[in-house]
Chains A and B, each alone.
Chain A
Amino acid sequence: MKVVIEMTLPRDAGSAPLARHTLDASLRGLGVDSDVRADIALALGEACANVIQHARSSDEYEVRALLDDLRCVIDVIDGGGPDAGQVDWEATHASLYAESGRGLQLMRAFTEDVNILERIHRDGSVVHFEKSLAR
């Protein structure tokens, strides 16, 4: 079985819980374990928060989730645009006392294959992560 979920979301703070809950409902419907769902929700929340806080030139962004029996593959794609802000978490390693810079650290701890692709031609970026659903 394969399930594809695509969301186009307004780049406002309320979109983060909306994206998390929408994906979580699907994963729950597919019988995915609550711990695995929590890992995915955290990583998705971090990816959305990054777009919301930093991709200032675009009004919308996309979340694409591809689910099958083995994996959940997520891409969070910011709309880019001529003045797209730098995705500033890439080079960041949080100092213990810093207020920001922990998003990527959390994504890497709880999910797999985390990477960030800069979209050269459209200035935006794609935040990608995967999570095994195998039981």
Chain B
Amino acid sequence: MEFSAGHRRYGDRVIVSLDGDLDVNTSERLRATLLDVIEEGAGRLLVDLDGVTFLDSTGLGVFVGVAHRLRAANGELAFAGGNDRVRGVFHVTQLSRIFPMHESVNAALAVGEPH
């Protein structure tokens, strides 16, 4: 499935919704999308994974790279939603230990201000 993305502001956070496959074919567009959002001034990104149909190590690599960029600016990258497979990929690679993983966007927003 082709990749697409949208984003919206919520308080001091920006929620980025991703749809489609995050793989070697879409990773550069994914990186450009997230860096554009950061360029616009977003420091706290919440990535909604509910529309993601496929996620592999190249997609994960983009997230790690973007997280480094955000950390350097005291920002944060967190994730919400995602099907069992997508979440499983985070768990197997232990990235679920370094990224906040929320059940859903609503659950993430309800957590309030962790930092």
Contacts and interface: CB of A to CB of B under 8 A. Distances in A.
Q: Which of under 10, 10 to 19, 20 to 34, or 35 or more describes the interface residues of B?
A: 20 to 34
A102 B62 CA distance: 12
B24 A102 contact: no
Given A42-B89, A105-B93, A48 B24 contact: yes
Contacts of A100: 57, 61
Interface majority SS (helix, strand, loop, mixed), chain B:
helix
B98 A17 contact: no
Contact of B24 (A16, A38, A110): A16
A98 interface: yes
Interface of B: 21, 23-25, 54, 56-58, 60-62, 64-65, 68, 85, 89, 92-95, 97-98
Closest 9 CB pairs of A and B: A49-B24, A102-B57, A13-B25, A99-B61, A103-B57, A109-B92, A45-B56, A99-B65, A102-B93
21 contacts: A13-B25, A16-B24, A17-B54, A38-B85, A41-B54, A42-B54, A46-B56, A46-B57, A48-B24, A49-B24, A53-B24, A53-B58, A99-B61, A101-B57, A102-B61, A105-B57, A106-B57, A106-B89, A106-B93, A109-B92, A110-B92
